[in-house]
Amino acid sequence: MEKQSNNSKSRKTLRRIGWMTAFIVVAAMVAPLSGYVYVAMAQSDEPAQQAQPADAWGGVNPRSEVWRQARQAYEGVTVVQGPSANVIMSSSGETFRQIRNGPLSTYAPWYMALMLGAVGLFFIISGGGEKLGNASGKRVPRWSLFDRILHWYVAILFIALAVTGLSLLFGRAVLIPIMGPEGFAAWAYAAKNIHNYGGAFFVVGVVLMIVAWMRYNIPSKVDVQWFVKGGMFGKHAPAERMNGGEKAWFWLNVGAGLIVSATGIMMIVPQFFESRELFQINLIVHAVVAILWLGASFGHMYMATLGAPGSMDGMIKGHVSKEWAEVHHDIWYDEVKDQEFDAEDAAPSRAPEPKGSPSAA
Ligand code: HEM
């Protein structure tokens, strides 16, 4: 009877994970299409434009001569103050364009496909992590309400920034053929604003996450043994509150989070830069680190769902089964087993918060 209810609970959790994953995938695909709605609305508001004759300049575009000269890096005269103010077109811009549209745009999709493929292959070979159930009927508090809100706040913003950032990087090549130039122009405008404003909120979340969870992630000898014993590949090895893999993911978040945040803020306030070259280098560093981080996040998402079933209970409900705690974090379980409570008391209004958390009474 108890076993049956455990099975139905884990089926429910799996269903919830399935729906969440489907939602994220569908949102990532559908969001760009909002560009069409934008264009349709903009067009319905505008009076019909006069059609231009195809050859309005008699065969020669008078602006082309100006651009031809600008490309020679001539210096002109301007009332604008600031570095490189008199340079109409910087030749380093061409080098930047070649890096952005060359190696960056070529290797980034391969890297992401490789990471996704590696996770998929690992799942096919291993069949996913063991489903431990909750035969004991005992639960252990793991993540406070504050921790959970913080985690999902950062995770949702991360996905929104990834979708909009990739749209800006690959939009011309990937989205214009799908949406058309007008649809993409409208989506790019929205994506740029979501990316810039969302980025500012994300920085706050990353800093809070570092401060709140640093204490759980101090590296120790146990973590080295966790890696040596194959914890990475699903082998059960002794672990503290966070295991070696989770600590590695946390510190990657700290490093990548700080670099991506700092380079992002500097681009929102470009007065930081002495020269255009520095701005261009900054943009490449921002994109490369963000893409490396995104690829690594596939591993985290896998481990948190299919790799170690039961983990999501912690990040959704705040508590995990005694069985999960014993198998995945035995050293931590020994420290917190006095906080154990019955599964019947697991309703959100009654489940206790972990001791020492900001939201614990
Ligand atoms: C949307 C997919 C995601 C899912 C399903 C997910 C799920 C989880 C779960 C279940 C845990 C708790 C693991 C445990 O109790 O041992 C966790 C922890 C964590 N997650 Fe996520 N997560 C996702 C995305 C993200 C993203 C995008 C970030 C960062 C940008 C992130 C950062 C973290 C961090 C830093 C921890 C704590 C690790 C530690 O302190 O060592 N997560 N996640």
Residue 253 lies in a domain: yes
Atom of ligand 1 lying closest to residue 142 CA: 15
DSSP one-letter string for 195-264: HHHHHHHHHHHHHHHHHHHGGG----HHHHHHHHTTGGGT------SS-HHHHHHHHHHHHHHHHHHHHH
CA of 303 to the centre of ligand 1 (A): 9
Which residue's C-alpha comes closest to atom 27 of ligand 1?
Answer: 155
Mean predicted confidence (pLDDT) in 190-197: 97
pLDDT(202) > 70: yes
289-299 pLDDT tens trace: 999 999 999 99
For a mutational test of ligand 1's pocket, the pick from 151, 240, 357, i.e. the residue with the most ligand atoms closer than 8 A to its C-beta, is: 151
Q: What is the CATH number of the domain that holds 284?
A: 1.20.950.20
Number of domains making up the chain:
1
Is there an atom of ligand 1 within 6 Å of 329 CB?
Answer: no
User: Is the pLDDT at 137 greater than 60, yes or no?
Assistant: yes
Q: Which atom of ligand 1 is nearest to the CA of 314?
A: 15
Q: What is the pLDDT of residue 305?
A: 96
By alpha-carbon position, which residue is closest to atom 24 of ligand 1? Answer: 155
Per the domain annotation, does 192 fall within a domain? yes
- Has residue 145 got a pLDDT over 70? yes
* Distance, CA of 309 to CA of 305 (rounded, Å): 6
Within-domain flag for 263: yes
In a domain, 107, yes or no: no
For residue 320, the cross-strand partners are 140
- Please check whether residue 115 lies inside any domain of the structure: no
Q: What is the pLDDT of residue 271?
A: 81
Which atom, in ligand 1's list, is nearest to the CA of 24?
1
Q: Is residue 146 part of a domain?
A: yes
CA 90/CA 278 separation, integer angstroms? 12
**Predicted local confidence at residue 347, as pLDDT:** 86
Measured from the CB, is residue 210 less than 6 Å from ligand 1? no
Asked which of 194-198, 264-268, 305-309, 346-350 is least confident by mean pLDDT, the reply is 346-350
Identify the DSSP state of 80: -
Domain around 335 = 141-361
List pLDDT tens digits, range 33-81: 555 555 555 556 555 445 455 555 666 677 777 777 776 666 667 777 7
- Distance (angstroms) between ligand 1 centre and the Cα of 274 equals 38
In a domain, 119, yes or no: no
CA of 300 to the centre of ligand 1 (A): 7
How are strands ordered across the β-sheet holding 138-141? 319-321, 138-141, 341-342
**What is the average pLDDT across 258-287?**
91
Residue with the two structure tokens 């109409």: 88
DSSP conformation class of 128: S
More confident residue, 54 or 211: 211
- For the question of whether the overall pTM of this predicted structure is more than 0.85, the answer is no
In a domain, 269, yes or no: yes
C-beta 212 within 6 A of ligand 1: no
pLDDT band at 273 (very low <50, low <70, confident <90, very high): confident
